[in-house]
Each structure stands twice: as structure tokens, then as C-alpha cells.
Amino acid sequence: MSSLGFSVGTCSPPSEQRKCRSFVSSSLTKAEAINLRSQQKVSDHELSFVQPASCGRREAIIGFGFCIGLVDKVSAFAETSSCEFSVSPSGLAFCDKVVGYGPAAVKGQLIKAHYIGKLENGKVFDSSYNRGKPLTFRIGVGEVIKGWDQGIIGSDGVPAMLTGGKRTLKIPPELAYGDRGAGCKGGSCLIPPASVLLFDIEFIGKA
């Protein structure tokens, strides 16, 4: 399932847009799907995340929820209560709260991750925790927004996440939904155009 990934891109050829829908596909981006999900106007399946400027799986993004507290299970790694962001050349910022203990994801691998997506003002727009199950998607192939691919698999100065790790990503518009925004209806958008997005991600591991 693709979920909350926001990124700007070029729509795939018509043959690849067979099931393109708003948030997740052609007319709807995944982010928009997330918005509709909250209004119960689309099914969970339709709400996979997609990139706003792309269609089909390339428009996948990630839905997120808010998780507060200690690491769920006993771990040798302590979760920090506060984080100082490191900014990569691409503008993607990251902060590791738990470094993790297992293998890193490999490009093209199907993985599972929990997440919480927020705007800069702290408003939560999506959360896999609230849905009770992690997002499953293929990493590094455009099924989620660019900020997610780069922030999990590692790129341009950003280290790869390790299984069991928890990281907060601060994603600029160009690596998310860009000037299009997402979940727009009736003049308002769940994710306004040119929004910087914050994602708390827990990399569970290979699916």
C-alpha cells in the first residue's frame, strides 16, 4: 500500500495510469486520498499514498499518525525526547530518535513502516498507528513521495534507516506534493500547496 508520500513528478504514460486516482493516481494524489479517508469517502485500499505529480503507484505517499512515549518493545536503543535536524543538500532534513538494530532496506524491497504525517503547525493529516497497521510499500521505486524514498533508503547525505529505527523527516515541498498540495476540495486542502511536511517514521522491516 502506498501512503503519504508527497513529491513532484511527471505523470506516467497513459498505459501506466490505468488506475490513477487523485491522491494515489492521476486525478487524485495519495495525500488527497488520505483526506478523503478521514471523511470516509474512499476505501483504505484506494488511499494508498502517491506522489501528487505522478500517477499510479508513483503517486504514493504515506499516511501518518502520532505516537508518543517510549519504544514499544524492549530495545537496546533509547528513544530521544528531542531531536536536532541534520539537513541534506536536497533540503531533506532528518533526525534519528532510535537508530535501529537490523538491516537497512534495499531498493525495490517490499517493506513495512508505521508513520505519522504532520504539517509544520503540528496538525496531523494521517497516521498508520490510528489505522492499526503499518504501511506496506516498495522502497526506492517511486511508490511513495521522494522525501520518503530518500529518507528511508538513504541518499544525498542521509544515512539509510535500519530495521527497528525511528526517524523524523522534514520534507520540503519539492520532495513532497509541491505547489499542487493534496486532498483539495471546495477551495481547501488537507495538505496546502507548497507545504513542508513532518513525518515520524518507524521502520519495521521487510514485509
Whether residue 101 lies in the annotated active site: no
Amino acid code (one letter) for 71: V
Catalytic residue selected from 34, 145, 152, 171: 145
Taking the domain 101-206, which CATH number applies? 3.10.50.40
Domain ranges of the chain: 101-206
Amino acid code (one letter) for 176: A
Whether residue 145 lies in the annotated active site: yes
| 3-state DSSP assignment of residue 61 | coil
| Count helices and strands in the chain by DSSP H and E runs | 3, 9
pLDDT digits (tens, 9 = 90+) for 8-21: 333 333 333 333 32
Tell me the C-alpha distance between 37 and 50, whole Å. Answer: 14
Regarding pTM above 0.85, the answer is no
Whether residue 129 lies in the annotated active site: no
What is the structure's pLDDT at 96?
Answer: 96
Using pLDDT thresholds of 50, 70 and 90, give the confidence band for residue 142: very high
Kindly state the helix (H) or strand (E) to which residue 114 belongs, with its residue range: strand 110-119
Catalytic residue selected from 96, 126, 149, 200: 126
Using pLDDT thresholds of 50, 70 and 90, give the confidence band for residue 79: low
Catalytic residue selected from 94, 125, 137, 203: 125
Tell me the C-alpha distance between 52 and 45, whole Å. Answer: 17
Query: How is residue 29 written as a grid cell?
Result: 494524489
Question: Residue range 154-160: average pLDDT?
Answer: 94
